[in-house]
Structures are given as structure tokens and as C-alpha cells.
Amino acid sequence: MRIGRFETILLLGGPVLFLLVFFIAPFLLMTVASLQQKSGTWTAAHYVKLATDDYYWKILIETFKIGLWVALVTFVMGYALAYYITFHVKSQLVRRVIYIVVVTPLFTSNIVRSFAWIVMLGRQGIVNETLQATGITSSPLSLVYSKAGVVIGLSYVLLPFMVLTVSSILQNLNRSLLEAARDLGASPLIAFLKITFPLSLPGVIAGSLMVFTLTVSAYVTPSVMSGGRFNVMSMLIYQQYMVFFDYNFGAALGILLMITTLLVIGAYVMALERRARAAG
């Protein structure tokens, strides 16, 4: 049965309207606000200030560094867990239980999870106590109110996104390719490096982009885990809106964060596409 033009409009009307109301319109309002003074006069002073003040660029770079670290940590842990679930867990019941455990933290408030990590990462918390008991460290590590603590907290929050994205790709891999590689004498490591990992790259790319974008825009976890000792872009934007009531400059900061994030993601995707063409 062929769908007519009227049915197509009805099907696309809802999503397009949602996109316009909740994405396009707020973006346009922020753009207009970032180009105005509090009095309503048009100006580019906010962007000139951003371009000439190193303070904001340092915070932006630190935000991206944290995003890259979180993406790396979640990739290592998430890929290993997804691989184990897909290839080593045979029982469907056990697999479902593991998935439930993985996504359960998503149903807990970010504030509760952040304060729980503060307790666990404290000088007398379970992490430092375990490290000292096993002889790995001789004294407590300063994990609370540090960038390392922010990376740990965000990695825990965003790990389910990486696990679910990668596992969805691994579950659809053609197992006959792995069997053929083993029959031809390839070791498990070579089969993984030559077949499994390359074929799972779409899931890795999607998961890492998702984790990175959620990290650079996160507010609750960085604000709690940092203890106010350093800023990320989301905290800086919040301060402009809720502390200094400078909505126009806060809008400019939001536009800067969004545009630079899109540029980083675009450069990442283009580099991967160029490498894929070179390899092909």
C-alpha cells in the first residue's frame, strides 16, 4: 500500500513540529539574546569578549578534555562488558539480568549518584580503603573534588549508553565470519582485531559521540563532584543565568559550546570517513 502525500504530512508533522518548538525555536531565541545587550540593543560585544578572553577558552578546553577522558573510560569498560555479554553469556535470562543491572543507575537521580560517589571516593571511602588494603597505594588519594572524581562520576553515569550501543552492534555480527577466520588459522586475538572490532566500529563511534556530547553538556555531576574548585562550561553558563542574571552573555556561552561541540564532532566523523576511504 502506497502512502499518499496527506498521510506523509500527518506522519512527519508531529516530529517536525516537536523539532521546531523544542529545538529550532530555543536556538533562535538564544542566538538573538546573545547578540543583544540587556537594554535590547544589538551588539557583538559578547562574542568579542569570548574571543579575546583566554579564561573562557581554558574552561572550554578543560570541558572537552573531561569529555574525551570520559569517552575513553566508557569505551574501554563498556566495550569489554558488551563483548562479554554478547560472546560469553549464553543464558538469555542472565543476559537480561546484566542489562537490567547496567541500566538501573539511569533510574537514579544524578544528585544521589554524585553524593554516593563522594562518599565512596573520600579519604576514608571504600575506594581508598581498598587501594590501601591491597597495597596499591600507601596513603589516601585525593579523588574527591577533583577532575579525576568528575571523570569517574560521569563515566559511571554514561557507561550504559556505551554498553547498549556497542552490544547492539555485536549481537548482529555474522558469526560465520569469525568461524571462517578460526578455520583459516587465525588466533582469537587476530580474529578480534581483524573482524570483530572493525565491524563493531559503528557502535563504538555512535557510543563515543553520545557519551562525549552528554559529558560536555552535563551540569549536576560536575558541579557536585568538583566541589566548586573548578568550572566547566555548563557550570559557567548556569552562573551567568542564575547568579549574575546576565542572560545575554549566558546565551553567547551556550552558542559557543554548541558550535564548538558540533565542530569537534564533525572533525571526528570526517577523520574517520577519510581513514575508511584510505583503508578501502
Residue ranges of domains in the chain: 53-279
Q: Which pairs from 39-46 meet CB under 8 Å and 24+ separation?
A: 46/248, 46/249, 46/251, 46/252
Dihedral angle computed from the Cα positions of residues 215, 219, 223 and 229, in that order, rounded to the nearest 10 degrees: 60
Q: How far is CA 177 from CA 187, 194, 276, 279, in A?
A: 13, 10, 20, 20
Asked whether the predicted pLDDT for residue 275 surpasses 80, the reply is no
Topology of domain 53-279, CATH: MetI-like fold (1.10.3720)
- What pLDDT score does 280 carry? 58
Higher pLDDT, 186 or 68: 68
209's CB contacts (< 8 A; 6+ apart) are: 265, 268, 269
Q: Which of 68-77, 121-130, 223-232, 265-274 is most confident? A: 68-77
The answer to whether 252 touches 46, Cβ cutoff 8 Å, is yes
SS (H, E, C) 198-242: HHCHHHHHHHHHHHHHHHHCCCHHHHHHHCCCCCCHHHHHHHHHH
The answer to whether 199 touches 173, Cβ cutoff 8 Å, is yes
> Could you read off the pLDDT of 171-227 as tens digits, one per residue?
988 888 888 888 888 888 898 988 899 889 989 999 999 999 999 999 999 999 988
Longest dimension (CA), the chain: 74
> Could you read off the pLDDT of 28-52 as tens digits, one per residue?
999 999 999 988 899 999 999 999 9
Q: Which of 262, 256, 169 is nearest to 212 (CA)?
A: 262
Q: How far is CA 76 from CA 54, 71, 216, in A?
A: 33, 9, 19
Distance CA 130, CA 258 (A): 40
Q: How far is CA 158 from CA 78, 99, 201, 258, in A?
A: 10, 14, 19, 19
The answer to whether 224 touches 149, Cβ cutoff 8 Å, is no
Distance CA 64, CA 59 (A): 9
Task: For residue 247, name the pLDDT band (cuts at 50, 70, 90).
Answer: very high
Asked whether the predicted pLDDT for residue 105 surpasses 70, the reply is yes
